[in-house]
Chain A
Amino acid sequence: MLSRTADHLFWMSRYIERAENLARLLDVTWQMSLVPQSLDAANQNWNAIIALNSLEVAYAKKYSEITAENVLRFMVSDADNFASIHSCLRMARENAHAVRGTITTEMWETLNSTWLEAREKSFEQLLNAGIGEFFEWVKMRSSLSRGTTLGTLLQDKAYHFIRLGTLLERADNTARILDVKYHVLRPQGDEGATDFYQWGALLRSVSAFEVYRKVYRDAITPERVAELLILRDDMPRSLHFCMNGVVKNLDLIANSHSGETQRQAGLLHAKLHYARVEDILEQGLHEWLTDFMDHIYMLGDGISKDFLAPMAEAA
């Protein structure tokens, strides 16, 4: 397969996954903000979203203060913000357009109509209709595109690059959500009603609330949440699950110079496979997650160098 084609497929799936995860993150923050809390605490949550995406400068150019509405507007429908849901859906569509002969008609139609519908929605409309509904819509469209991929695409290299993009992006995003929210929640630690709602919202944001109940049949504790989202290999949004898929798909596309990238992926995978949550928490969850995200970034870089970016062997 052409490197450029692989690149478009990889980024097409990353952008759609990113839009979904952004919707999840904004949704949980939105829901948490509905529970009574101090104005400071609320602003801190919204601020974290901007900081998380390193968008402080771009944000400051447009808005003088952090408010729920400003952050939502900036992250949901601002076409100038390349990291907004709007931009992610546009880029997912553009990447799909560039390879529409490689993906199936159903996949193309799904991404194309997602973008066309998203373009029609104004932020004011979204606010009035309840922004939560929009987040649900984004998640459903992402599920739909994953479903059409699974249901229609030949499982050749194109498929492996798409899965690789999806899982790498998801690993990064689950780590981010956990890092941001765990931080906010941890210090309070008193198992009051507020805390319960906050943890519940976090779990729901990664579709893990029911899973948690099923797995632990017990009260929600920060340790178990961390364990679920990091180490459970049967939980589709956990880091371990994602890395299983990354390693597997990487093996299926391997070429003569991708050995080092495969080794790095294997190492990161082993870390999850053999880890204990107690050790991770003892090391400090934030430190551990930061390290993990650094490795994910390096992995993306390695994939890009080995497979996607032309190697400039031109005469």
Chain B
Amino acid sequence: MNFYNEMMDANDGVRAHYQGYDQWLKATPAERIARKRAEADLAFHRVGITFAVYGEEAGKERLIPFDIIPRIIPSAEWLALQAGLRQRVTALNMFLHDIYHDQEILKAGKIPAEQILNNAQYRPIMRGVDVPGGVYAHIAGVDIVRAGAGEFYVLEDNLRVPSGVSYMLEDRKMMMRLFPELFAKHKVAPVQHYPDMLLEKLRAVAPQGVSNPTVVVMTPGAYNSAYFEHTFLAQQMGVELVEGRDLFVKDEVVYMQTTQGPQRVDVIYRRIDDDYMDPRVFRAESTLGVPGILKAYQAGNVTLANAIGTGVADDKSIYPYVPEMIRFYLGEEPKLNNVPTYMCRKPDDLKYVLDHLPELVVKEVHGAGGYGMLVGPASTKEQIEHFRQLLIAKPEGYIAQPTLALSNCPTFVEEGIAPRHLDLRPFVLSSGKCVNMVPGGLTRVALTEGSLVVNSSQGGGTKDTWVLED
């Protein structure tokens, strides 16, 4: 397979936007780079920029490997990408509003109604609830890959609690600290105002009539894999980091317990799944949530970001319909490509998938974190047979896509600098009519040769992402 290389063109020439960096790299002694890499490792470790790994010993934390070769995106490419992301997230928010209100898209027959209404992530409790600004996915992490001759594809939309923005910010901080001279030479668009932008968006979606809203970040607790990010965001925004046990509801109003007594809470950036938010409505055994918070939410006394029930739009079985949503709600052609997707619930698709398993990537509809997936070309016969049985037993639980020739980028690995596959997660912020993002995102890179799985849970690393200004 031929892979698009972010840095080099097909004739091994350096692409225009990488030329400055390439000159610097060639002129910089290997020892200096090695020293800087060691310095970065040490600093990340010392600061404890870590994530916990599910299934490992409780409290055990791992460092996400950081690569010092940036992923560079020229201005024009970014502007096109940004326009596509705005369009996509706008349509997704309209879709969410629609299916919890008039369901026009279902009536028009654009998406089979049972696909939505029987979806485990569809929350009937949200029917007819008006959320401020009509925004459901306040923070969306859209995973983008580049394939083929360099076209961008959306791999998935993460509309529930997308993680990784702290790495985007810490990676930039680290690069600026290690290589200030690079930033003097390149016009790298800044990303450090993300926390301000996020706070502004969260304040903008406060319940009606609240002029100076109290915003909090809500975490499941210190053992969550993204706990570092939760503390980081709360600290950067200067707001309280709360757990469910810090909150209580009285007369359909949410309060947090402070040393000065109860204080009203208006906006909750919650990093906890729907299922655990309210034991009176969802899982009764959940101790992470707040009893009665859904009633307060329905009454419009508190804003939850993201809204309850966004999961129905980022489900992998809904993903194939996003281009249709864009046409339906915006009357526009999608600016970003979807990856062709086989829906195993359809008999024809299932037959094709079963016949072509070694070429395809199969994903669980509700899977995340790179778990529960089959990468056909990289799998053993046993693994393929195992998935065949899974598919036959529960076809509606899976989708399949052709194995994309993901782009790669030079990366430091044990044997030196070598190309590794990567993706990009920009963080798209919505409040009412306004959809914004900082230029860039989190670039994740698969460190194992040939691997297409970039998830940090699967040993992936990260790179600083540079959007160059003209």
Binding site for B on A (CB under 8 A): 1-6, 94, 97-98, 100-102, 105, 108-109, 112, 157, 161, 253, 255-256, 307-308, 310-311, 313-315
Contacts and interface: CB of A to CB of B under 8 A. Distances in A.
B262 interface: yes
Contacts of A97: 222
A232 B248 CA distance: 46
B251 A101 contact: no
Contact of B257 (A105, A157, A310): A310
Contact of A255 (B46, B242, B260): B260
Contact of A315 (B258, B260, B292): B292
Contacts of B258: 1-3
Considering residues A2, A5, A157, A308, which has the most beta carbons from chain B within 10 angstroms of its beta carbon? A2
A4 B240 CA distance: 11
Considering residues A101, A161, A314, which has the most beta carbons from chain B within 10 angstroms of its beta carbon? A101
A157 B259 contact: yes
B257 A315 contact: no
Interface of B: 46-48, 221-222, 231-232, 234-235, 240-243, 245-246, 248-251, 255-262, 291-292
Given A3-B257, A3-B258, A256-B261, A313 B231 contact: no
A310 B242 CA distance: 13
Contacts of B221: 98
A315 B48 contact: no
A310 B231 contact: no
Contacts of B251: 315
B243 A4 contact: yes
16 contacts: A2-B242, A2-B256, A3-B259, A4-B246, A5-B240, A98-B221, A101-B231, A108-B48, A112-B48, A161-B259, A255-B259, A256-B261, A311-B261, A311-B262, A313-B250, A314-B249
B232 A101 contact: yes
A100 B259 contact: no
A258 to B, nearest CB: 9
B228 to A, nearest CB: 8
A314 B248 contact: yes
For the complex of A and B, list the 8 residue pairs with the smallest distance between their C-beta atoms, beginning with the closest.
A101-B231, A314-B248, A101-B235, A310-B257, A307-B259, A315-B250, A3-B257, A6-B259
Contact of B241 (A3, A6, A101, A105): A101
A105 B262 CA distance: 29
Nearest to A306: B259
B248 A109 contact: no
A252 to B, nearest CB: 11
Nearest to B251: A315
B231 A100 contact: yes
Contacts of B234: 101
Query: SS class of chain A's interface: helix, strand, loop or mixed?
Result: helix
B222 A2 contact: no
A289 to B, nearest CB: 31
B280 to A, nearest CB: 11
Given A2-B240, A4-B243, A101-B241, A315 B259 contact: no
Given A2-B246, A100-B231, A311 B48 contact: no
Contacts of B261: 255-256, 311
A97 B261 CA distance: 24
Nearest to B260: A255
A102 B46 CA distance: 17
Contacts of A2: 240, 242, 246, 256-259
A97 B221 CA distance: 10
A215 B385 CA distance: 84
A5 to B, nearest CB: 8
A256 B261 CA distance: 8
Contact of B250 (A109, A256, A314): A314
A87 to B, nearest CB: 15
Considering residues B241, B250, B255, which has the most beta carbons from chain A within 10 angstroms of its beta carbon? B241
Nearest to B47: A105
Given A2-B242, A97-B222, A315-B248, A109 B259 contact: no
Contacts of B246: 2-4, 310
Nearest to B248: A314
A83 B279 CA distance: 35
A101 B259 CA distance: 17
A315 B291 CA distance: 9
Nearest to A113: B46
A310 B256 CA distance: 9
A254 B265 CA distance: 22
A3 B258 CA distance: 5
A311 B261 CA distance: 8
B294 to A, nearest CB: 13
Contacts of A310: 245-246, 248, 257
Contacts of B256: 2
A314 B295 CA distance: 14
Contact of B291 (A6, A98, A256, A314): A314
Contacts of A253: 259
A307 B261 CA distance: 8
B46 A109 contact: yes
A307 B240 CA distance: 16
Nearest to A98: B222
Nearest to B243: A4
A190 B95 CA distance: 90
A113 to B, nearest CB: 9
A1 B259 contact: yes
Nearest to B234: A101
Contacts of B241: 101
Contacts of B222: 94, 97-98
Nearest to B240: A2
A3 B222 CA distance: 17
A116 to B, nearest CB: 11
B249 A315 contact: yes
A156 to B, nearest CB: 11
A28 B221 CA distance: 40
Contacts of B245: 4, 310
A143 to B, nearest CB: 20
Given A98-B222, A108-B48, A109-B48, A311 B257 contact: yes
A2 B243 CA distance: 10
A311 B245 CA distance: 11
Nearest to A108: B48
A164 B21 CA distance: 53
Contacts of A108: 48
A1 B234 CA distance: 13
Contacts of B262: 311, 313
B88 to A, nearest CB: 32
Contacts of A105: 47
Contacts of B257: 2-4, 310-311
Nearest to B291: A314
A255 B257 CA distance: 13
Contacts of A307: 259
